[in-house]
Chains A and B, each alone.
Chain A
Amino acid sequence: MDDMMTKRISKGLLAGVAIATAIGGLATPAFAQRDPAYAAARSAGQVGEKMDGYLGIVGASTPELQRLVNDINIKRRAVYAERAKATNATLEEYALTAGCQAILATSPGEKYQAPSGSWETRTSAPPMRDSRCP
């Protein structure tokens, strides 16, 4: 009787987890779009990808830009922290790796930070990246 109960409960739990996973998978958009303000600032070259894996303000800072960049960087940091834990790395290590990849993923016209620290405009040529980047 006890065995039957446990089986029923665990079956119920399994089904619940399966349903939750299915709904969660559907609810989370796999490729969410950038916020329009962020997309605009990015293509205008007002913000760029830094080497450390975070977004930076390229030219003159405005409170609006600062808010936008802070908001994205806080979200990035949370993602980095989660993945760093999962991959047994430090936050800085994971963020730096993501920076390598994010700079590589920039489109022509977007800004990125070169190893010298200067802001560069991405062309069709490969970006100038840290020598440690894969």
Chain B
Amino acid sequence: MIGFYTVMEGIIAFFLVAGGVFAFIGSLGLARLQDFYMRLHGPSKTSTLGVGCTLIGSMIYFSLTNHTISLQELLITIFLFVTAPVSAHMLAKCALHQKLPHYERTKGRPEELDEEQEDPDAADRPSTTPAP
């Protein structure tokens, strides 16, 4: 007969291990992928799920040991989901601005990376900015 706590321990362990594996794969992607734009995919996605799994494990553990529902982890997840895409977007924007070289098999040729254009952002700034 397997007790309730043994089963829950197994579930918590599963989430912790899964979280660790995903975080590791995300970091491995930083080393293995070929150019900056591809490396962006690792941290923006894999680490999100890695942290998410770890937080689910932590939520179950503290809910069981303290006998109250632990909801702080939900906040961490929400903040992470709000901030991770924004930072990835800013990094990609910087890379385009610096015209970082991309992997030669990349298809599609964005005009942001063309050489003759001086400043890729110049044409894109909203014209609604009020004059000082």
Partners in one complex: no
Which A residues form the contact surface with B (CB < 8 A)?
none
